[in-house]
Structure 1
Amino acid sequence: MPAGLRQVVPGIPGTPLPHGILGASCTTVIDVTEDQIHQLNGVEWLALGCAPARDWPDPCEDPQPGDPTEKEFARLTTEAAAPITVYAGVECSAPGFPYEEAREQALAALTLGEQHAIEAGFMRTKLSVEAVDLTPPEGPLNIAQGIAALEGCLAESYGGQGVLHIPAGVAALLGCCNVVREDPATGGLYTLAGNCAVIGAGYSFLNVGPGGIPAEPGAAWLYVTGPVVVRRGPVDVIPDRSRASASVNTRNNDRRVLAERTVVVGTTCTICAVQVMACP
């Protein structure tokens, strides 16, 4: 074996998980333009399709027990989504670590990890805050029972296709009962009912339920929502090239560079949650 110093080679690149929240098959991802930049302060809208459609008996037929006597009208509701900032920062001794290399490292870290950060932020600020807990008093369900409960909850409140939010740590269990299948046309994961599944490392990392309650040991929290829209702002590198010297802390001669962006994640109608056992 030759002796001498190790040779420096390029870093090993990575690929974001294909079924995360930024996967095109499950979510709508919008990179906001300059004229839409105010959307990054948060957005609101009138809910579409959250009001139920009902059946009405034939007036020519004799009334039956339980027949409605008056048509119901649902009051429209306003929904909203708040901004989340996701970031990646790098630090190293300034000698031998030029600004451009630090910038490249920060951007690479954000590109690979932003799904994780968005999923964790969405779980912390939206899913766990608004979800209805379907976990029975007896404790966590198996994964097939849990997804069945979530899909039933969604179907009762929303007539369209929804999104399951599954921690990456239990994703392998989806194959045990043939719970989801990959659509060859889109590459997305879908249940028999037609709902799409997001497999999120950020959901595994946080793994909290309604009220921020952590999952029991050996268990995981699953959620279901209506459609999901992710609005993303541009990436900011701090400091920028014009202030590259400001990235060095003169007290310890360390260089720090940060890459960050603001995202706004919105969903609609009911959010349901259930705790499942993280074993077959």
Structure 2
Amino acid sequence: MYVSPPTVEPYGYGLFSVAQFPVETDRHWRCGVEWEPYACDPARTIADDCHLPPVEKVLDDGVPLVSASAFTVYGSYLCRTVGRTEQQILDRVRQAVRLGEQRAVEHAFWTGELGNTPRLADPGAVILNPGGVIPADAGDALSPVAGLAALESYLRESYGGTGVIHAPAGAVPVLAQAQQFCGTCTAPLRTWLGTPVAAGGGYVVNTGPDGNPAPAGTAWLYGTGPVAIRRGEVFINPDSIGQALNRTTNEVAILAEREYVVGFDCLLAAVLISINC
């Protein structure tokens, strides 16, 4: 007997659990966005005015600017119409986007393989060790605790707000075994300093800033500023089964599409950790 499948919900604890989703009324965001971050400029200190000669205050010249470009996630349907209603076809292609979009967005965001910017695996990422910054081609994998400590330290030292840590899903059990998450299992995961952690299914690519896969038994963790995701409504292309139907082959070819722009505030750091138990 042909029956309905189990109810499926998108997985939790991924990129969508840590991101902000601004709503834009101007459709031009689909061409990419840019903004002026607030938390990237440091506040400075100066001695009291009793010192002579007086000390000059240092002024930061200009305003920083970050940008993010657009890409599209889509689900598809290519099959015969026999035994299927129009509603069943449309529901199926929409579900392909709903259940697959987070993983697809995470993969694009990590790799930048669509030409989208910014990306996590970027040659410009600052690579860390417990003592600070090291050259991009130097250093061995750190322990999970040491690697996370280096990343947390860098985020606090370099940014005025709460950043985000991005980890392949396979690294999370190792970090959990080391008791690096606080609280109960509610999304998002958070470290003991309250930093949200995105455990991405699309992060399984696990490449470093140089684009090469992490060595066996290791994982790259990335730290960024807050992540903002702008996305459109799911739209069907073509917008009717009549237009999607090839009457010669009796096939329906139809897409469900959604536009995305993913960006983050002003800093990007990476650390390689061991995930061998």
Which band: TM-score by shorter chain? 0.7 to 0.9
Match of 2:218 in 1: 219
Show the 5 A alignment for 1:253-268: 253-268=250-265
Change (3 A) 1:49 1:78: same
Match of 1:17 in 2: 11
Please give the alpha-carbon distance, in whole angstroms, between the structure 1 residues aligned to 2:29 and 2:45.
Answer: 38
Code of the aligned partner of 2:38:
L
1:149 lines up with 2:150 in the alignment:
yes
**CA deviation after TM superposition for structure 1 residue 134, in Å:** 2.4
The superposition leaves residues 171-191 of structure 1 with CA deviations (integer Å, 9 ceiling, x where unpaired) of 11121111112368x743221
Q: Which moved more, 1:40-49 or 1:136-145?
A: 136-145
**CA deviation after TM superposition for structure 1 residue 98, in Å:** 4.0
**CA deviation after TM superposition for structure 1 residue 221, in Å:** 1.6
1:72 lines up with 2:58 in the alignment:
yes
Please give the alpha-carbon distance, in whole angstroms, between the structure 2 residues aligned to 1:71 and 1:179.
Answer: 40
Please give the alpha-carbon distance, in whole angstroms, between the structure 2 residues aligned to 1:118 and 1:10.
Answer: 28
Match of 2:234 in 1: 235
The superposition leaves residues 31-89 of structure 1 with CA deviations (integer Å, 9 ceiling, x where unpaired) of 44xx32211211111121211112223344799xxxx9543222321111111211121
1:139 lines up with 2:132 in the alignment:
no
Match of 1:51 in 2: 41
Change (3 A) 1:58 1:182: same
Q: Which moved more, 1:261-270 or 1:175-184?
A: 175-184
**CA deviation after TM superposition for structure 1 residue 91, in Å:** 2.6
Please give the alpha-carbon distance, in whole angstroms, between the structure 2 residues aligned to 1:144 and 1:250.
Answer: 61
Change (3 A) 1:182 1:106: farther
Q: Identity of counterpart residues, as a percentage?
A: 36
Match of 1:103 in 2: 90
Q: Which moved more, 1:137-146 or 1:105-114?
A: 137-146
Decide whether the 8 Å contact of 1:182 with 1:188 is kept in 2.
no
Please give the alpha-carbon distance, in whole angstroms, between the structure 2 residues aligned to 1:258 and 1:219.
Answer: 37
Change (3 A) 1:189 1:245: same
Gaps of 5+ in 1: 1-6
Match of 2:193 in 1: 193
Please give the alpha-carbon distance, in whole angstroms, between the structure 2 residues aligned to 1:224 and 1:147.
Answer: 10
Please give the alpha-carbon distance, in whole angstroms, between the structure 2 residues aligned to 1:182 and 1:41.
Answer: 39
**CA deviation after TM superposition for structure 1 residue 250, in Å:** 5.3
The superposition leaves residues 246-274 of structure 1 with CA deviations (integer Å, 9 ceiling, x where unpaired) of 43445654433211101111211211111
Please give the alpha-carbon distance, in whole angstroms, between the structure 2 residues aligned to 1:10 and 1:187.
Answer: 29
- Using the size of structure 2 for normalisation, the TM-score is 0.85
- Using the size of structure 1 for normalisation, the TM-score is 0.84
Give the CA RMSD over aligned residues: 2.4
Q: Flag the structure with higher helix content.
A: 1
1:88 lines up with 2:75 in the alignment:
yes
User: In structure 1, the residue corresponding to 2:111 is in which secondary structure?
Assistant: helix
**CA deviation after TM superposition for structure 1 residue 222, in Å:** 1.1
Change (3 A) 1:12 1:59: same
Code of the aligned partner of 1:213:
N
1:30 lines up with 2:29 in the alignment:
no
Code of the aligned partner of 2:5:
G
Q: Which moved more, 1:71-80 or 1:249-258?
A: 249-258
Decide whether the 8 Å contact of 1:239 with 1:247 is kept in 2.
yes
Match of 1:3 in 2: none
Decide whether the 8 Å contact of 2:219 with 2:275 is kept in 1.
yes
Please give the alpha-carbon distance, in whole angstroms, between the structure 1 residues aligned to 2:263 and 2:184.
Answer: 25
Match of 1:208 in 2: 207
Decide whether the 8 Å contact of 1:90 with 1:257 is kept in 2.
yes
**CA deviation after TM superposition for structure 1 residue 133, in Å:** 2.3
Please give the alpha-carbon distance, in whole angstroms, between the structure 1 residues aligned to 2:214 and 2:2.
Answer: 43
Code of the aligned partner of 1:240:
D
